[in-house]
Structure 1
Amino acid sequence: MTTNPTWDPAQYLRHAGHRARPFADLLARVPDLPGNPPRIADLGCGPGNVTAVLADRWPTARVTGYDNSPQMLAEAAAHAGPRLDFAHADLADWTPTETYDLLVSNAALQWVPGHLDALPGWLDGLAPGGALAFQVPHNIDAPLHALMRDLGDTPRWKDRLGHVLRRTDSVHAPAVYLDRLTRLGCAVDVWTTTYLHVLRGEDPVLGWVRGTGLRPVLDALADDPDARDAFTAAYRDLLREAYPSTPYGAVLPFRRLFVVATKDG
């Protein structure tokens, strides 16, 4: 989020089914909400497709999706309705201005350096018995990211890309979130899941990361198409080796971290 890459909603949504499944798994562990009707915020709502799921799950709720990408918000507007709206906000400095029953975030906090420091303020905006629920990728050491970092740290690319690549501290260990949120007075449920996504098509793993982690690189090299294409081709070749094609597609193991913190009532 704070890196503020230029997002491509169509590219991101190419794997919408795979990306939405962790959100469904997260919501399955969210407890009953205290408000009637509940007030819900989706932090880092992206193209709004999963925000709409919140409105389906809690049909009387008033739901707002927040994002700092004009491209994503333009796509999300198609999902707006009488109880569902979208607004611009950057999670780096967003604080609740009203009381919420649920703050939820789907694969966004990894883009927010220092997001642990935001948690107390977010909890202050929760009603007693309300919940903070989020999931983030927990695979920063997987080839998907490690190969990008290794390539970006080579002499040809380091000066241009060293400052835009996500590092290993972008997401914390599960126990860190458990400890921080428990000390803040929450009942906390933390778990991890590794999904084995079967991706099809030409260079599907590259297609996956083009919608997410590669965006800052593409932005950094946008003024030099030859360099952008050279980096992408070299990274593509590394991904082909790390995630080989099979007769049924390329298998992308993807580990995610889930947190549901319920504020003491």
Structure 2
Amino acid sequence: MTKLSVNINKIATLRNSRGGNVPNVVQFAIDVQKFGAEGVTIHPRPDERHIRYQDARDLKPVVHTEFNIEGNPVKKFMDLVLEVQPTQVTLVPDADDALTSNAGWDTLKHKDFLIEVIQECKRNNIRTSIFVDPDLKMIAGAKLTGTDRIELYTEQFAHEFSLGNKAGIQPYVEAALLANELGLGINAGHDLSLENIRFFKENIPNLLEVSIGHALISESLYLGIENVVNMYLNKLK
């Protein structure tokens, strides 16, 4: 079964909007794991506008499933990753002022930089994943960096699916087939939801993990977090 990693950034956004510690990010991570989530994802940004760097440290002792830290591998971020030692680091090329992740790596242009970062992570026994668009050249380039996995950036799929265009899955199928051929593990994330996750899962061979935050938290406002986590798990079977 494809693993569900819950991105809890939005919980931190809500907490930060009022100050204090409500909702409690650490308790939320404990709860989603109790409800069946197989991982917890955070994406700290330099301005700490949602997840704070200290949150990563506080979460480490309580995440007994897979702990995935996403971010742009600038020095401050990498120092945090090497200190916390999560299960997985997902390298994302987002700008400091990006509202959310909006593009994958150019794995050819940034090959040498990614090799250096990935080697450092591997020396510390941290699994690596590279955020990429479903572009076959970028998938092939990812292989050359030595990464363990790729994370397919699924915004375009989600947009096409919402318009009723199921053919929008095809570039992702081709990307997954090439990744499988090259021996790269496959993760996916961005705008995946209860509406589209089953179709995506059914069409992507050997999908190992999905990271879902915004949609999952939004759906939980209506349906409840425990219920929503289990709805995702059922659709991922």
TM-score, normalised by the number of residues in structure 1: 0.31
The TM-score, its normalising length taken from structure 2, stands at 0.33
| Structure possessing the higher relative contact order (Cα contacts under 8 Å, 6 or more residues apart) | 1
* Structure richer in helix, relative to its length: 2
Q: Which has the larger radius of gyration?
A: 1
Greater strand content: 1
